[in-house]
Amino acid sequence: MSVSAPTAPAPAPAAAPAPVGTPLPADLPKPPGLTWRVESREPVGYDVSIVRGLLNPVNPVLARACGADGRTPARCLVVIDDKVDALYGERLRGYLETWRIDASFKVLPGDESAKELASAVEVTEAMTAMGLLRRTEKILAVGGGVVLDIAGFAASLYRRGVPYIRVPTTLLGQVDAGVGVKTGVNHGHHKNRLGTYYAPETALIDPEFLATVEPRHITNGMAEIIKMALVKDAALFRLLESTAAHSTPRSLAASGPAATEVISRAIAGMLDELEPNLWERVLERSVDYGHTFSPSLELRADPPLLHGEAVAVDMAICVALAHLRGLLGAEDTDRALRLMHTTGLPLTHPVFTPDLLEEALRDAVKHRDGLQRVPLTDGIGRVRFVNDLTRGELERALEFVHHRAAALRDPAAEERAAEDDLVAVAS
Ligand SMILES: NC(=O)c1ccc[n+]([C@@H]2O[C@H](COP(=O)([O-])OP(=O)(O)OC[C@H]3O[C@@H](n4cnc5c(N)ncnc54)[C@H](O)[C@@H]3O)[C@@H](O)[C@H]2O)c1
């Protein structure tokens, strides 16, 4: 069969332009319009699971998440925290090999100072270098909140989004950074100023990673757990009162019932709050508790404060604000501050002055679209939002916390002062 080129029709002679003002012929097709509206919705679904023994070669969960079945070769890009790589890299490589997953590794430093745009760009370059397939090959992010936020941010940017899996390895990662949909990097003096909402395919939480986390970073994660207890879960608060002082990396990593309950209650509470408002359309968010003043503090403190430590200093102010407004009784106020203190969290920081608090609140107002929307505890386990905090209140709250923190640090001095007061009154 031969195919011949169609003969082109002879060009029509150019019509003379119609004089201006000539009416349009009635049989012209209707124009398609000048304004279009497009509406679309994308369902978001991902699993968060606590899975012990994630790196045990007989455990298929991680391999399945990477799309491997152990028979057909698969590939992935592992974006991993440098300390986690040093501690668990060999086991992870052995695991991936067992499951016939050909993995490229991109090792990144953890810690806040590494959380910058350049790191995310480096991750996208690693994707290019390995020739990542856009849908079937995944990013496996393993590390603390910093590496998870960077890897998730890079995954959301690369070809406008490639799938990724989160394996959080710090306490803060396991109860907070690893379970939501936010990604991001710091920019200028601002925390997470560049970021996206981008859900992982799955988040796999293995508390066994916590065994090697430095105690200060465990305390850091406890701050977010205390937050969930204060805003949502009075039973978790009581559980923390009886366990928090003895929470060590090893006790949390072990499969004891109290540790498992603390972690799972914290995750459940967090997801319960996040799920109906994943894109933060509603800006009154109880999980923002402790996150009003802390973003301005975290990057300014020198030596730097960890995220959870800055959150604790913020929560202490908010506990005082609630107390001074009559929302939190004296006993519950004392319990809240005492729990943070016995956990090893700071309640005060010299950078936190009334001026900085005011400035931080102004920034929070921008972030919260024009209103303060500050969550305050309304009894332990509940919140209410306020929009009318004044500088005077901030000053009084700061003074209150300084006084209580000094008493918690040195109860004997507090008792002596009380006795002196009594003597002064009696004489
Ligand atoms: N995306 C979110 O929704 C969200 C929520 C909360 C916090 N965050 C972010 O999370 C970050 C803080 O996360 P982080 O506290 O996990 O800090 P991090 O990621 O810096 O980790 C803390 C330290 O622990 C090391 N490490 C990690 N896993 C370890 C392990 N198993 N054993 C030993 N060492 C280990 C890291 O190398 C690092 O030195 C902040 O940048 C914060 O903005 C994000």
Residue 421 CA to its chain's centroid (Å): 46
- pLDDT score for 422: 55
CA distance 254 to 262: 12
Spatial contact of 174 and 207, defined as CB atoms under 8 Å apart: yes
Sign of the C-alpha dihedral, residues 150, 50, 223, 371? positive
Instruction: Determine the distance separating the centroid of ligand 1 and the alpha carbon of 49, expressed in angstroms.
Output: 19
Q: Side chain identity at 186, as an amino acid letter?
A: N
- Give the closest residue (by CA) to ligand 1 atom 13: 145
Helix (H, G, I), strand (E, B) or coil at 159: helix
Which of these is catalytic: 182, 191, 227, 232? 182
- pLDDT score for 216: 95
Instruction: Determine the distance separating the centroid of ligand 1 and the alpha carbon of 110, expressed in angstroms.
Output: 7
Spatial contact of 239 and 265, defined as CB atoms under 8 Å apart: yes
Helix (H, G, I), strand (E, B) or coil at 170: coil
CA distance 182 to 149: 7
Q: Ligand 1 pocket: which residues have CB below 6 Å?
A: 81, 83-84, 87, 110-112, 115, 143-147, 149, 169-170, 172-173, 176-177, 180, 182, 191-192, 209, 212-213, 217, 220, 307
- pLDDT score for 365: 95
Among the listed residues 60, 63, 58, the one whose alpha carbon sits nearest the alpha carbon of residue 76 = 63
As a whole number of Å, the CA-based R_g of the chain is 28
Q: Which parts of the chain sit beneath pLDDT 70?
A: 1-18, 413-414, 416-427
Reading across the β-sheet that carries 74-81, which strands appear in turn? 47-50, 202-205, 164-168, 138-143, 74-81, 101-108
CA distance 140 to 136: 12
- pLDDT score for 426: 56
Q: Which residues contact 131 (CB under 8 A, 6 or more apart)?
A: none
CA distance 2 to 47: 58
Locate the ligand 1 atom nearest the alpha carbon of residue 115 and give its number. 41
Note if 227 is an active site residue: no
Helix (H, G, I), strand (E, B) or coil at 47: strand
* Site to substitute for ligand 1 among 46, 55, 83, 225, most atoms within 8 A of C-beta: 83
Q: Side chain identity at 306, as an amino acid letter?
A: L
- pLDDT score for 5: 44
Among the listed residues 134, 75, 123, the one whose alpha carbon sits nearest the alpha carbon of residue 103 = 75
Query: Domain residue spans in the chain?
Result: 47-213, 228-419
Cα-Cα-Cα-Cα dihedral of 201, 206, 210, 213, to 10°? Answer: -40
pLDDT digits (tens, 9 = 90+) for 197-231: 999 999 999 999 999 999 999 999 999 999 999 99
CATH 1.10.10.10 corresponds to the domain 228-419: no
pLDDT digits (tens, 9 = 90+) for 101-127: 999 999 999 988 899 999 999 999 999
- pLDDT score for 251: 86
Instruction: Determine the distance separating the centroid of ligand 1 and the alpha carbon of 317, expressed in angstroms.
Output: 24
- pLDDT score for 29: 74
Q: Which residues contact 169 (CB under 8 A, 6 or more apart)?
A: 81, 84, 88, 142, 143, 144, 209, 210, 213
Locate the ligand 1 atom nearest the alpha carbon of residue 308 and give its number. 15
CATH 3.30.70.20 corresponds to the domain 47-213: no
Among the listed residues 296, 257, 263, 288, the one whose alpha carbon sits nearest the alpha carbon of residue 386 = 288
Q: Which residues contact 374 (CB under 8 A, 6 or more apart)?
A: 292, 318, 321, 361, 364, 385, 386, 387, 389
Q: Side chain identity at 286, as an amino acid letter?
A: S
Q: Which residues contact 185 (CB under 8 A, 6 or more apart)?
A: 115, 116, 117, 119, 120, 149, 150, 153, 192, 193, 194, 195
Determine how β-strand 182-187 pairs with β-strand 190-197: antiparallel
Tell me whether residue 42 is exposed, middle or buried, using C-beta atoms within 10 angstroms of its C-beta: 0 to 12, 13 to 18, 19 or more: exposed
Locate the ligand 1 atom nearest the alpha carbon of residue 182 and give its number. 1
